[in-house]
Amino acid sequence: MAERLIVVGADAAGMSAASQARRRRDHRDLEILAFERGTHTSYSACGIPYWIAGLVEERDDLIARTPEQHRERNIDVRIGHTVVGVDLDRRAVTVREPRGGETTHEFDQLMVATGGEPVRPDWPGIDGRGVHGVQTLDDGEAVSASLRSRDAKRAVVIGGGYIGVEMAEALIRQGLEVTLVERAEQPMNTLDPDMGERVGEALKAFEVDVRMGVTVEGIELDGEGWARAVTTDAGEFPADVVVLGLGTQPGVTLAEEAGLPIGPSGGIVTDRRMRVPGHDGIWAAGDCVEVVHRVTGRPVAIPLGTHANKQGRVAGINLGGGYATFPGVLGTAVTKVCDLEIARTGLREAEAEEAGFAVVSAVIESHTVAGYYPGADTVTVKLVAERGTGRLLGGQIVGGNGAAKRIDVVAVALWNHMTVDEMTGLDLGYAPPFSPVWDPVLVAARAASDAVHG
């Protein structure tokens, strides 16, 4: 009789695990049953703002593999099915069917890939019509439906993180008047304040009404239950549509109720092979888990699709009888706001100090290509290093076209525990259409090295 693997959540981590396990084990040896509460599988949630903006023409362009395509590969995907309980003693899950009613399914192996949950404060009116998080493709469809049905003219985006700034741009591109409300003094709290300030300036230049240091108190609804305005300590901001960009937290309710261990970061605890310690045959991956930060050595939960796919692959290889481990994260991420590219990796200054490092930092201004070459744009690079040793701790880049992917050089240096002194000699490519003769990353490394040595 075939062994049964049940997968809870059929997006990045879950289906990466299922696909890897299927490649290594025949369907007569391993039955794979995946439950997904939404209506889509294996899609790019990161692409949703660009679809809403009209930069991606078709919603289906964001879908890497449909449920039908998974089924063709002998992975039984059931959409609209919500796993509402896990019984570890009986080794069974309870599933709510699309038309109501519940069924029970036994498992030999269980893959928990429940993803992240958007932060939704207990504000008055937050459950009103036209108030949307942007976590899933279904959420993106709901935003688009509200824009169409209301003939929306004004939007308020609450939160200045990745989703917030990306959705602000998307709604501006759709012709709406957009207000972005953020409690902090600068957007993008994954950057140091001096770098986040540049993001705020770019949003204002794109005609987003940026309101920093403002605390939301609730959402006013009209007589039909639609959003009418966002109320704050700085007044009321009219809105036909409200987008919540307040970040995510690990989706661990199911795991917690089942008795699986939850770590200090709020994510499910796993080992390097993505197994849940103390629970034979239980695996977890994606935005619902915590992993080790390679700089601090501490557990963190960082919701990124890159991490989820890698973790799912590791779990799937192990489920399929192979051996793989997940080495940890740096939190490397890039995004774009209007014409401004934004990137970061490792630790911010405040994070490094909180972790116990004595830090120095350096900020330099340069160009994305040779200054005399057509299309040359400005770029700001910031590196954070340990005082004394010069060990690289983190980096941030903000600039024009061609700026953001330079963060990969910084990430590789960070991954390999390089010092800023060592970085100054990196043999990077040069030609005027691609870089100044001294690449901005090298200029920043020299400046950081000078700061280290006083």
Q: Which residues are catalytic?
A: 46
User: Rounded to the nearest 5°, which phi and psi values hold at 217?
Assistant: -110, -25
H/E stretch holding 24: helix 12-24
Phi-psi region of 390 (alpha: psi -120 to 50; beta: other; left: phi over 0): left
Residue 308: alpha-carbon gap to chain centroid: 9
Distance between CA 311 and CA 305 in Å, rounded? 10
> Closest by alpha carbon to 170, among 149, 215, 140, 139?
140
Cα(227)–Cα(262) distance, integer angstroms: 36
Instruction: Answer yes or no: are the C-beta atoms of 168 and 178 closer than 8 Å.
Output: yes
Cα 141 from Cα 54, distance rounded (Å): 13
Q: Residue 366 and residue 383: Cα distance in Å, rounded?
A: 14
Tally of CB atoms within 10 A around 356:
7
| Calpha distance 238→223 (Å, rounded) | 15
